[in-house]
Chain A
Amino acid sequence: MQHIIIGAGPCGVVAAETLRKKSPSAKITLIGNEPEPPYSRMAIPYYLVNKITEDGTYLRQDQHYKELGIDYLSQPVTSIDTGSQLVTLADQSQLPYDKLLIASGSHPVSPPIEGIDLPHVHSCWTLEDARQITALAKTGSNVVLMGAGFIGCIILESLVKRGVNLTVVEMSDRMIPRMLNETAGGLLKKWCIKKGVKVLTSTKITAISESGSGMQVALDNGDSLLADLVITATGVKPNTDFLQGSGIEVDNGVVVNNRLQTNIPSVYAAGDVARGKDFSTGNFSVQAIQPTATDHGRIAALNMAGMDVEHHGSLNMNVLDTLGLLSYSFGLWMGVEEGDSVSLYNPEAYQYINLRFGVDEDEDVLIGASMLGDTAHVGIVRGLIESRIHLREWKERLLDNPIRLMEAYLARTQEFG
């Protein structure tokens, strides 16, 4: 049995390890497309502030893949022939497979504005990007960050710690619009401004041009900013170009069933590239988050190894630390129509909690939450949502005091009271 995994991020690595556990004698090849050992993009912000060195971003230790008998190749895949079950690499060599996993992740996309290709305009996605940013983002440099979404906010902290003069430009009306509502997003903006970051929301960059030794960044409000470095963090898209002509169905991500299997039975897809099942909605969508990537990797691998394992859906959730202020979102954090909700808002302490409950027979079931500020035992939010525990009298207690989540879980699982 020959397994090939395209993509050496957390999803691909977990898949390779799971396959090895279940298929001790199978041949397993893991293919990355960057000249690095498998590493974690999530660790890059910590590399940017020298909290770790490059090897601190590596997903596993050096000898790990050798010890498990996993062949690691670092070369882009150019095409897949699903008829004769062959993968073609950039050097024209071909590898046969019995089962194939597409775990090729995603890539950053930038808006098509003038000057976006200038040499000092970078995305912050790969280790190589991080090396370039480290060289350019020095103490006192003028840096413009385009986009205050999830990735933008992670990089934001690193840039501030590097001592740059930072301006964040976000076209939406608030920071992290896909994770926080107006109240929480507004509070986060206030926090960033307090920490010395210039934050422009509802603002678009219209053009970037060279100006002296730096750049001039034009805004749609007529103002302009000077910049030594512009970092784009304006979203990502699944890496599916190399699947053209393969017959594998792609529609804003690789289409999979609840076994993470594509329309071609010998081919599976997982992680940021795959439209997997969402726990909360039951719909299939790209979540592009770490825990989902590793869930997918494991479940796809179990199916590739011949087991029949059904994916019931991953919970969409995020955690983010922006200059020391933590933000979280879980599941249906925007709620559902007619569902109850409760908020606790304490702007002086930069604290916000919002809980969302279901409707009808699930009216006492937690379905989503978003928070700002420290939240102890925060994982219990996931536990409450995923186990669909009926809170009974604890729903009223949470409506009175939403911070008692842990007590609610304990009381409802330990059957006292």
Chain B
Amino acid sequence: MQRSLYLDPAKCTGCLQCEMACSYEKLGEFNPSRSLIKVFTFHEEGRFAPYTCTQCDDAWCLRACPVDAITINLSTAAKVVNEAKCVGCKVCTIACPFGTVNYVHETGKVGKCDLCDGDPACARACPTEAITFIDANATGYERMRAFAEKSISAANATAS
């Protein structure tokens, strides 16, 4: 069963536990500024929105990489940056139309969510189930994601 991160802004309270958990999982330190999941704040609406890579099928980041440094983890379907191969050219950061690949000055490489090998720390840490890791087909999320992807891939090419 393929599982994916389901992000539900309606349930997010902006506690930022996910950012703490992500940075601790990846860096061994609490450093939300380097978290691979981000919570955006909407003061006007009094809302929060957690946001990270949806591991899209089209994987613009993977296709744009000039040195084959982004590959698919076959068990989780996550698109994973191989740090040893990444040269830090940043083409993937502009190619990803969802803005979820970022350049990391500290490492000179790019960083993105890799689903923590199938047990995402952000989902474990979220106290309100705004972030869950669930069967990709069990919710409408997959359709939603596919729609978002289509709106952009249609811009590039359509098959008839």
Contacts and interface: CB of A to CB of B under 8 A. Distances in A.
Interface of A: 10, 14, 40, 42-43, 46, 51-52, 56-61, 279, 290-291, 294-295, 298-299, 302, 307-314, 317-319, 321, 324, 326, 328, 330, 374, 376-383, 386-388, 397, 405-407, 409-411, 413-414, 416-417
A324 B106 CA distance: 11
A126 to B, nearest CB: 15
Given A291-B95, A377-B102, A379-B98, A410 B66 contact: no
A296 to B, nearest CB: 10
Given A57-B67, A308-B160, A386 B44 contact: no
A410 B90 CA distance: 23
B13 to A, nearest CB: 15
B159 A52 contact: no
Contacts of B87: 43, 46, 51-52, 56
Interface in B27-47: 38, 40-42, 44-45, 47
A299 B102 CA distance: 27
B101 interface: yes
A407 B93 CA distance: 17
B154 interface: yes
Give me the 10 closest cross-chain CB pairs, A-B, nearest first: A380-B99, A377-B99, A383-B97, A40-B66, A379-B96, A417-B45, A46-B87, A386-B155, A379-B99, A42-B66
B151 interface: yes
A61 B156 contact: no
Given A377-B38, A383-B99, 12 more contacts: A51-B108, A291-B60, A291-B63, A291-B95, A308-B160, A311-B156, A312-B154, A313-B155, A377-B102, A379-B94, A379-B97, A410-B49
A388 B155 contact: yes
Contacts, number: 161
B24 interface: no
B74 interface: no
* Consensus secondary structure, chain B interface: mixed
Contact of B97 (A40, A60, A382): A382
A328 B102 CA distance: 13
Contacts of B118: none
B15 interface: no
B72 interface: no
13 contacts: A42-B91, A61-B68, A290-B66, A299-B157, A312-B155, A313-B155, A380-B97, A386-B152, A397-B44, A405-B99, A406-B51, A410-B49, A417-B47
Contact of A330 (B67, B85, B94): B94
Interface in B45-92: 45, 47, 49, 51, 60, 63-64, 66-68, 85, 87-91
A321 B159 CA distance: 36
B9 interface: yes
A416 B45 contact: yes
Given A291-B64, A382-B97, A314 B49 contact: no
Contacts of B158: 309-310, 312
Nearest to A298: B63
B91 A319 contact: yes
A43 B66 contact: yes
Given A56-B67, A59-B66, A312-B157, A417 B97 contact: no
B99 A416 contact: no
A30 to B, nearest CB: 15
Contacts of A52: 67, 87
A411 B94 contact: no
A10 B97 contact: no
B98 A60 contact: no
A374 B104 CA distance: 10
Interface string B136-153: 000000000000100110
A405 B151 CA distance: 18
Contacts of B94: 291, 317-319, 328, 330, 378-379, 381-382
